[in-house]
């Protein structure tokens, strides 16, 4: 794995971590093959060679399998955000981190988390489910934004607001992308994301361009 986690020492802990990953892989693979809805938790468990009950001892819900994968992706995004110059405006930094993060994901595309991100993007079935995660995910992003700007997300609502708006724009981008056929795999999606992010200022404070001119360059 690319994510740095402390290596478990005992045999028991090693087996546990191993089973968790087996379950995760089984779930993602089945979701990819048959679709999220058509995959049952029993199948995931059977695929990993354990009982359904054991599956639920490792994952609180079926959705959590997806969330687990997404969190891996988010870690890369947070790292990319931390790497941005600290004088960049938070939202702009997030936008640029998104672009950087995409490159990193593509570079490490062999990793599971990366393919999980793709698979979520490719399955409109998961779009709504993905939205549900956002408010869990935004907390982490808000944390990093708080670090960058030197404010405490617990007292200042702005970091989480930035994160929330960021995900909102992403969701919108995903919608337009999937509405427009979503033929190309990842490149078009990134473009859609960046496009939405760049439209946000106009959508909330800048001059709203004339209706006769709906198009404009990125």
Partner DNA sequence: GAGATTATGTCAGCGACTGACAAGTGGCAA
Partner DNA sequence: TTGCCACTTGTCAGTCGCTGACATAATCTC
Task: Tell me how many degrees the CA angle 78-80-82 measures, rounded to the nearest 5.
Answer: 70
**104-133 binders of its own copies (CB under 8 A):** 128, 131-132
CA–CA separation, 213 vs 63, rounded Å? 42
Q: Which of 60, 83, 103, 203 binds DNA (CB under 7 A)?
A: 60
Query: What angle do helix axes 90-107 and 187-204 make, rounded to 10 degrees?
Result: 180
Question: Hey, what's the torsion of the CAs at 161, 166, 168, 172, to 10 degrees?
Answer: 160
CA–CA separation, 200 vs 206, rounded Å? 9
CB of 110 to DNA, least distance (A): 27
125 binding DNA? (CB under 7 A): no
Instruction: Look up tokens 């199948």; give the residue.
Output: 43
Please identify, using beta-carbon distances, which residue of 62 and 137 lies nearer to DNA.
62
| Stretch of residues binding its own copies (CB under 8 A), selected from 32-40, 77-85, 109-117, 170-178 | 170-178
Q: Which of 6, 10, 85, 214 binds its own copies (CB under 8 A)?
A: 214
CB of 125 to DNA, least distance (A): 13
Contact 98, 191 (CB under 8 A): no
Q: What is the DSSP letter of 49?
A: T
Radius of gyration of the chain (CA): 19
**39-98 binders of its own copies (CB under 8 A):** 89-91
CB of 42 to DNA, least distance (A): 6
26 binding its own copies? (CB under 8 A): no
Q: Which of 27, 31, 62, 114 binds DNA (CB under 7 A)?
A: 62
Site string for DNA, 20-49 (x = CB under 7 A): -------------------xxxx------x
Contact 78, 141 (CB under 8 A): yes
- Interface residue list for DNA (CB under 7 A): 10-13, 15-16, 19, 39-42, 49-54, 56-58, 60-63
């Amino acid at each position: 794995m690319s994510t740095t986690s402390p290596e478990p020492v005992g045999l028991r802990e090693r087996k546990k971590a191993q089973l968790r990953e087996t379950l995760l892989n089984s779930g993602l693979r089945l979701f990819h093959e048959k679709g999220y809805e058509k995959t049952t938790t029993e199948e995931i468990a059977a695929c990993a060679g354990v009982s359904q009950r054991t599956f639920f001892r490792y994952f609180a819900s079926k959705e959590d399998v997806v969330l687990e994968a997404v969190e891996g992706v988010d870690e890369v995004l947070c790292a990319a955000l931390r790497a941005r110059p600290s004088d960049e405006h938070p939202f702009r930094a997030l936008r640029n981190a998104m672009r950087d993060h995409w490159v990193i994901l593509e570079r490490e595309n062999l990793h599971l988390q990366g393919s999980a991100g793709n698979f979520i993007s490719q399955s409109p079935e998961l779009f709504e489910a993905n939205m549900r995660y956002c408010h869990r995910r935004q907390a982490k992003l808000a944390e990093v934004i708080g670090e960058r700007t030197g404010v405490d997300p617990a007292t200042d609502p702005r970091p989480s607001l930035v994160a929330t708006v960021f995900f909102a724009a992403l969701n919108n981008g995903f919608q337009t992308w999937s509405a427009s056929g979503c033929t190309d795999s990842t490149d078009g999606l990134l473009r859609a994301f960046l496009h939405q992010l760049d439209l946000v200022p106009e959508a909330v404070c800048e001059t709203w361009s004339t209706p006769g001119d709906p198009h404009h360059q990125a």
